[in-house]
Amino acid sequence: MRDLASRLRDIVRQTPRPSTPAETDAGFRELTYVAEGETGPDAGAAARGLGGTVHEAAGGACIVVDRVWDAHAWHGRTRVASIALDSSAPVALFDPRLATTDDWARRVVYFDIETTGLSGGAGTLAFLAGCGWWDGDGFRVRQFFLNGPAGERAMLDALGDVFDDASLLVTFNGRTFDVPMMETRWAFHRSACPTDDLPHFDMLPPARRLWGRRELRELIDEGRCNLSALERSVLGFHRHADVPGFEIPARYFHFLRTGDASAIEGVLAHNRHDIVSLAAITAHALRLAAEGPEACRDEGEQLALGRVYEHVGDAARAEDAYARASRAADAVVRAHALARMANLCRRAARYDEAASAWIGVLDAARRGRGSLAGLERRAAEALAIHHEHRAKDPEQARRYAERLAAGVRREASPAVAAGVRHRLARLDRKIKSREDTKGGPEAAPLLDDVDPAS
C-alpha cells in the first residue's frame, strides 16, 4: 500500500477537470493550472481578435486595446465634450482632501478593473484594467488585458506609466476595491505602487449623496446607487446585450482554456462603458455643484444638492436649493425639503419662517406616503415647542402636542410617549393658569389649516 504522501502527490499532478463557462467559483484553481502549465492563449491572435496590440515588458506580454469617443458623440443624454473637466470644477466640495491639490485637472484618469473574483487577496487577479482620460478632441479609453497570468507584470508596468502621468485618479468604489486590489498585485510582484502619491477621488460617496437617498427610492431607480442604475436614471444611457457582472470571471476562464477572443469581447465593452459612464457621472455631479440648483433636472436633485451645500456650511445656497425643491409635486421630496429649510431657519433664529416650513411638512405628510411619519412627528414637536416657548400660545401648542401623541401611539415608543404625556400635562397647567387669569379660554385657529403660501 502506498503511503498518504505519495497518493497526495499523484492527485496534485493530475490535470484538473475542465469546467464550463457557467462555473464561476473555480477561478483560482483553474488560473493556477494555466499559469503552471502554459503561458495562456497566443497573445498575437488574441490581440487581433480584440482589435488591440501586444505590449511586451518585464519578460511578459499583455494586450492593449484603445478606443476613442469623439467629442461630438453622445453617451445617453450627455455629450462627450462635456466630460472634460477644468480646474474650476468644485471637487473639494465633495472631497475636502482635494482642496490642497492645485493641478488636479491637468490629467484626470478614470479607472475600473475586472477581476477573477470579489474576495480579494493574492488568489484574485485583475485580468482587465481600463483607464480613460480626455485626449485632444476626444475621450480615450485604454484597456490592458491579460491573455495569461504570466503577463501581469507587463500590465502593471504599463499601468504605472499611465498613473505616473496622471494628476487625479477617479474611481467608483475604488477606494475600497479597485485601488486596494491593484496595490495587492504590485506588492505581490514586489513593485512600488504608483497610486501611493496620486490624489484619488472616489465618486461613490458623492453619488450616494446626490442620488442614493432613501426618501427618493421611488424616484431614482428604486434607490439603487450602482453605476449601471445611475447611467440609466441620470445619463439616460441604456446598455444592450451587456455582460452581467457575475458572468465576467467565467468568460475569462473560458478564454484561457480555449483562446476564443469572442468570449471576452463583451467584457471589454462592459468595462469601456463603465469608464465612460463614470466620467460622465463625475462631470454631471461637478456641474451641478458649480452651477447650483437651477442646473438640476428635477426637485429630487435639488434636494440632494442642498444637502451637499449644507454639509460644507454653505447655508445660502442650501436654502436656495431647498426652496426650489419644496415646490415639488412629489410630497416626499417636498416634505424633506421643507424640513431641511426649517432647520436652516431655526439655526439662523428665523423662528417664524421655521414654523411656516414645519406647517408645510405637516401638509405634505397628509398627502404623502407612510414613510413621512417620522417627519410628521418632528414637525408636530417643533411646532409644539415654537408655540409654547416662543409664541406663548399654549392652546395652539397643545393641539400640535396631541398630534404628536397620536403619532407616538402608533409607533408604541414608551420613552417618547412618556415625554409627550409630560408635555401635555405641562400645557394643561399653563392653559388652566391662563383661563384663571383671563376668565375663559380664547379661540385660536389651527395653523396647519392655514395655507403656507398665504
What per-residue confidence (pLDDT) applies to 23? Answer: 35
Phi and psi at residue 258, to the nearest 5°: -110, -25
The domain that holds 190 is classified in CATH as 3.30.420.10
The fraction of the chain above a pLDDT of 90, given in percent, is: 69
Tracing cell 458623440 back to the chain, one arrives at 73
Query: Where does the pLDDT of residue 12 fall: very low under 50, low under 70, confident under 90, or very high at 90 and above?
Result: very low
Phi and psi at residue 78, to the nearest 5°: -105, 125
Query: Where does the pLDDT of residue 118 fall: very low under 50, low under 70, confident under 90, or very high at 90 and above?
Result: confident
- Residues 61/154, Cβ–Cβ less than 8 Å: yes
The fraction of the chain above a pLDDT of 70, given in percent, is: 82
Looking at the predicted structure, is the pLDDT value of residue 17 above 50?
no
Nine cell digits for residue 253: 476562464
**Which residues share a beta bridge with 143?**
65, 130
Clarify whether residues 285 and 381 are in a common domain. Answer: no
Over residues 47-62, the pLDDT tens digits come to 999 999 999 998 899 9
What per-residue confidence (pLDDT) applies to 408? Answer: 74
**Which residues share a beta bridge with 54?**
63
Looking at the predicted structure, is the pLDDT value of residue 303 above 70?
yes
Clarify whether residues 38 and 172 are in a common domain. Answer: yes
For residue 1, being part of any structural domain is answered with no
Over residues 331-345, the pLDDT tens digits come to 999 999 999 999 999
What per-residue confidence (pLDDT) applies to 411? Answer: 60
pTM higher than the cut 0.95: no
Looking at the predicted structure, is the pLDDT value of residue 282 above 60?
yes
Looking at the predicted structure, is the pLDDT value of residue 11 above 60?
no
Clarify whether residues 433 and 287 are in a common domain. Answer: no
What per-residue confidence (pLDDT) applies to 94? Answer: 95
For residue 311, being part of any structural domain is answered with no
Clarify whether residues 377 and 276 are in a common domain. Answer: no
Written as one letter, the residue type at 218 is E
DSSP 8-state class, residue 226: S
- Residues 345/315, Cβ–Cβ less than 8 Å: no
What per-residue confidence (pLDDT) applies to 367? Answer: 75
Clarify whether residues 118 and 259 are in a common domain. Answer: yes
For residue 305, being part of any structural domain is answered with no
Written as one letter, the residue type at 194 is P
For residue 162, being part of any structural domain is answered with yes
For residue 238, being part of any structural domain is answered with yes
The mean of the pLDDT values for the chain is: 85
Over residues 218-227, the pLDDT tens digits come to 444 444 678 9
Continuous H helices in 200-350: 204-211, 227-233, 248-258, 262-291, 299-311, 315-325, 331-347
Clarify whether residues 146 and 54 are in a common domain. Answer: yes
Tell me the mean pLDDT in the region 182-203: 94
Clarify whether residues 86 and 158 are in a common domain. Answer: yes
Clarify whether residues 86 and 188 are in a common domain. Answer: yes
What per-residue confidence (pLDDT) applies to 251? Answer: 96
Identify the CA nearest to 128 among candidates 275, 238, 6.
275
Q: Which of 270, 291, 312 is the last residue of a domain?
A: 291
Q: Which of 244, 274, 291 is the last residue of a domain?
A: 291
What per-residue confidence (pLDDT) applies to 37? Answer: 38
Tell me the mean pLDDT in the region 102-118: 94
d(CA 177, CA 195): 13
| Range in 14-28, 69-83, 104-118 with the lowest mean pLDDT | 14-28
For residue 131, being part of any structural domain is answered with yes
Tell me the mean pLDDT in the region 264-268: 97
Over residues 133-147, the pLDDT tens digits come to 999 889 999 999 999
Looking at the predicted structure, is the pLDDT value of residue 415 above 50?
yes
Written as one letter, the residue type at 247 is E
Tell me the mean pLDDT in the region 102-112: 95
Looking at the predicted structure, is the pLDDT value of residue 409 above 90?
no
Q: Which of 291, 313, 329 is the last residue of a domain?
A: 291
What's CA 367's distance to the chain center, in Å? Answer: 30
Give 173: exposed, middle or buried? Use CB within 10 Å, 0-12, 13-18, 19+.
middle
Clarify whether residues 131 and 224 are in a common domain. Answer: yes
What per-residue confidence (pLDDT) applies to 222? Answer: 45
Range of the domain at 228: 20-291
Clarify whether residues 139 and 274 are in a common domain. Answer: yes
Query: Where does the pLDDT of residue 407 fall: very low under 50, low under 70, confident under 90, or very high at 90 and above?
Result: confident
Domain total for the chain? 2
Tell me the mean pLDDT in the region 41-49: 94
Give the number of other Cβ atoms within 10 Å of residue 4's Cβ: 8
Clarify whether residues 230 and 142 are in a common domain. Answer: yes
Clarify whether residues 266 and 372 are in a common domain. Answer: no
What per-residue confidence (pLDDT) applies to 434? Answer: 84
Query: Where does the pLDDT of residue 372 fall: very low under 50, low under 70, confident under 90, or very high at 90 and above?
Result: confident
For residue 57, being part of any structural domain is answered with yes
d(CA 356, CA 359): 5
Identify the CA nearest to 129 among candidates 82, 88, 169, 77.
169
> Vertex 431, ends 426 and 434: CA angle to 5°?
130
For residue 338, being part of any structural domain is answered with no
Looking at the predicted structure, is the pLDDT value of residue 203 above 50?
yes
Tell me the mean pLDDT in the region 251-272: 96
